[in-house]
Amino acid sequence: MASHSQLPRAERLVVGITGRIGSGKTTVGRYLQSRYNFQYLRYSEILAEWLAKDPESKAQLQKVGWEVMAGGMQAELNRRLISKIVPSADVAVDGLRHPLDYETLNNSFSGSFRLLYIDSPARLRFERLNLKGKYADSASFEAADAHAVEQQIDSLRANATLVIHNEGSLQELYAKVVEAVRSFREEGQS
């Protein structure tokens, strides 16, 4: 049997990952990369590369991301992301924020595309990010979470193939991801 990274285009998985800041998107994407050898791409890195910005500066990326969205450049951001996707590889795309992100990936990889929405309560999201030193207080977290670039994420939930509730341990999250991949592979075979 061929490895998943060598699967024909029709049998591969392209998993879009969306959710609010601190919900666990990057953790899920990196897990798909390490456990299943998915190619891992992040919208924030594509945006940072395109505009020569530091991808770890969340406030700056939110500002630039909003300029891209509001300026009608989301299609170009998606084009740049898709150009990075390795043919025939399983792919995890972290950070869908706009309905056009979903539409572009769904149309480009119709039979292979699945959208994961990672859901987690605001209190837990703040605690996770605070432990990582990203937000010193709840006010700065709430301001980032309320930024205009983040406001269309919730609309993507309706398009999700699966919603993962991330309220437990890391091991519980990983188990949910394993089950999601198994389910997605079964869907692709039917």
Whether residue 64 is predicted with pLDDT greater than 80 in this model: the reply is no
Which three-class secondary structure state does DSSP give residue 116?
strand
Residue 15 is encoded by which pair of tokens?
């998993």
Please give the C-alpha separations between residue 22 and each of 15, 25, 49, 53, in angstroms, as whole numbers: 18, 7, 22, 21
113-119 and 14-19: which strand pairing? parallel
pLDDT tier, 88 (very low <50, low <70, confident <90, very high otherwise): confident
Whether residue 6 is predicted with pLDDT greater than 50 in this model: the reply is no
pLDDT tier, 51 (very low <50, low <70, confident <90, very high otherwise): confident
Q: Report the percent of the chain where pLDDT is more than 90.
A: 66
Whether residue 1 is predicted with pLDDT greater than 90 in this model: the reply is no
pLDDT tier, 66 (very low <50, low <70, confident <90, very high otherwise): low
φ, ψ for residue 65 (rounded to 5)? Answer: -60, -40
Domains of the chain: 4-189 (3.40.50.300)
